[in-house]
Amino acid sequence: MTEEGTGHTRILGLGAGSLVLAIWADLLFYGKAPGISYPLFLLSLYGLFWWQARENGRMSFHRRHAFSLGMTVPILLLAFTFLFFSNSLFHIVNFLLVPFLFIVQTILLTERNRKKWYTLGFLGDLIEIALLYTLRHIRVPFGGIKEWIKSRVDQKKYGVVKKIATGIGVSLPILFVVLSLLSQADGVFGFFLGEIPRLFWETVSVETVFRLFLIGALALGMFAYFFTLVGKWEPFAEVPVPQQEEKPIVWDGVVLVTMLTIMNVVYIAFTAVQISYLFTGEKMLLPEGMTYAEYAKNGFNELVMVTLINFFILITTMHFASRAKHGVYRVIQVLLSLLTVCTGFMLFSAYFRLSLYEAAYGYTYSRLLGHAFMLYLLVVFLIGLLKIWRNGFSLIKYYAIVGLVAYVVINYINIDAIIVKNNLARYAETGNIDLDYHMRLSDDAYPYLLALTNDPQMGERVKEKLQNRLEEEREAEWNWQSFNLSTYLAMKKVEEAIGN
């Protein structure tokens, strides 16, 4: 078989695979909430990618692929949250994040990128490959079908068919105008002409046409993207830009030392206040009119903002600081380290304030996510502290890895369950709980809310709300594509606990 014939066969194979996958996606998702369908479709997508990459020689395993291959783990874990959990907030984010990570991974595995993934230049590669080249290659399947037909039909007959098709295309706009005039000239003719669309829509519904359109668009999009990864393509022509000598931006060391010294003096004073008032709990020394609870509650948002400002100072100073004078730069390193340590105290102060606020007012999504964000910032500053003294690694690389790992962990710790457990413990101590808020949580929380069914004060309200949710689930149209393990187990436990 010739190389050209092999190429056509591969195009047809990719086209057939994309079409099958688009039909599979319609079966899994159209009119149904994502559940087990999401990881099933992702696994199918991986299957098409690996098959085409191997067939076209775009797949090889080297040490440089360790990171991109390792991305499979968080991608699959995030996809399976649609089966294991019922948190709608994370489902919305993951529904968009998983395809993005899949695109990044497949670009890295096929080595279509020119820039490393942890540089800003990779963003340009991502846009160019995922959008520009994909749009360019949408026409490839039509050309492939044309060449396939041309190779199997007599050239003379092919020329005749091509001319007939051209004649039909030219006649269509003229025919539209003529039919419009004739239908106005003769009412009977216009009546029968108007019956044709009605008979068509009686045979084929609008929904069917819409679903076929979605299937075709999805198949075409997947084909174009995968062809961009595994097919042969020429780079876009780059407009020549005259080379100019670029002078790097450098900040004067003395200016930086002065600025960092002033800021560190302020932060050290602030840290001393935190230690004396907040961490030791000396309530008697507070200003007049301020309670200890107010002191613990206020300032959380401001502390987080100051932390982000310090992060900006840390990053920009490390990047732009002049290294011409070794002694001055060493002082800058010391001052940046001190800034990082003081920021750590601020994070601890904000974390502690939020904990006290939760103890007083209860646990919610935003407060727990605030805790998680501060822990992430702490890790980010520790990596920054290492970068201050060791300049041989990329901050963006490790920040992205830590961020992705942290997000996967957040998905799997079951925030709803943590909220209910902590608020139940607080309810046992204070007698206060916001039941309406807890009943708005996802199904992940319901097995833990069953502990309130025996409560003399609100047991009946809890039973009523759980019963309503159970009836809602029973009356919902069941389909296996939307199966969610969390909802299934939660409803089973509710049914066992409160019966009919």
Q: Is residue 241 part of a domain?
A: no
Residues 129 and 272 in one domain: no
Alpha-carbon gap, residue 200 to 197, rounded angstroms: 5
Query: Shortest CA distance to 75 belongs to which of 95, 47, 92?
Result: 95
Residues 299 and 274 in one domain: yes
Q: Which among 203, 235, 267 is the end of a domain? A: 235
- Write out the residue range of the structural domain in which residue 125 sits: 1-235
| C-alpha distances in Å from residue 303, one per residue of 99, 249, 353 | 35, 30, 10
Q: Which among 395, 412, 429 is the end of a domain? A: 412
| The pLDDT value given to residue 191 | 62
Q: Is residue 248 part of a domain?
A: no
Residues 403 and 427 in one domain: no
Asked whether the beta carbons of 323 and 329 are under 8 A apart, the reply is yes
Q: Which two tokens stand for residue 286?
A: 């507070």
| The pLDDT value given to residue 182 | 60
Q: Is residue 85 part of a domain?
A: yes
Asked whether the beta carbons of 463 and 498 are under 8 A apart, the reply is yes
Asked whether the beta carbons of 118 and 396 are under 8 A apart, the reply is yes
| The pLDDT value given to residue 353 | 77
Residues 81 and 227 in one domain: yes
Residues 303 and 355 in one domain: yes
Q: Is residue 38 part of a domain?
A: yes
| The pLDDT value given to residue 284 | 42
| The pLDDT value given to residue 146 | 62
| The pLDDT value given to residue 249 | 63
Residues 192 and 267 in one domain: no
Q: Is residue 243 part of a domain?
A: no
| The pLDDT value given to residue 370 | 86
| β partners of residue 321 | 251
| β partners of residue 251 | 321
Query: Shortest CA distance to 95 belongs to which of 107, 78, 83?
Result: 78
| The pLDDT value given to residue 283 | 47
Asked whether the beta carbons of 95 and 34 are under 8 A apart, the reply is yes
Q: Is residue 240 part of a domain?
A: no
| C-alpha distances in Å from residue 7, one per residue of 12, 22, 114, 153, 220 | 9, 22, 25, 19, 18
| The pLDDT value given to residue 1 | 43
Per-residue tens of pLDDT for the chain, all 500 residues:
444 545 667 778 888 899 999 999 999 999 899 999 999 999 999 999 999 888 887 777 777 788 889 999 999 999 999 999 999 999 999 999 999 999 999 999 998 888 888 888 888 889 988 888 888 888 877 765 666 566 666 556 656 666 666 767 666 677 666 656 666 665 665 666 666 666 655 666 777 888 889 999 999 999 999 998 887 765 554 545 455 555 556 677 778 888 888 888 888 887 777 676 655 554 445 556 655 556 555 666 667 788 888 888 888 887 777 777 778 888 888 888 888 888 888 888 788 878 877 887 889 888 898 889 888 888 888 888 888 888 777 788 888 899 999 999 999 999 999 999 999 998 888 888 888 888 889 999 999 988 888 888 888 888 888 888 888 888 888 888 899 999 999 999 988 887 65
Residues 274 and 292 in one domain: yes
Residues 285 and 206 in one domain: no
| The pLDDT value given to residue 48 | 93
Alpha-carbon gap, residue 459 to 450, rounded angstroms: 9
Residues 158 and 12 in one domain: yes
Tell me the three state secondary structure of residue 251: strand
Q: Is residue 216 part of a domain?
A: yes
Residues 259 and 405 in one domain: yes
Tell me the three state secondary structure of residue 229: helix
Domain count for the chain:
3
Asked whether the beta carbons of 351 and 374 are under 8 A apart, the reply is yes
Alpha-carbon gap, residue 258 to 332, rounded angstroms: 10
Kindly give the interhelix angle for 88-110 and 37-55, rounded to the nearest 10 degrees.
0
Q: Cβ atoms within 10 A of the Cβ of 285, count?
A: 8
Query: Shortest CA distance to 130 belongs to which of 110, 154, 151?
Result: 110
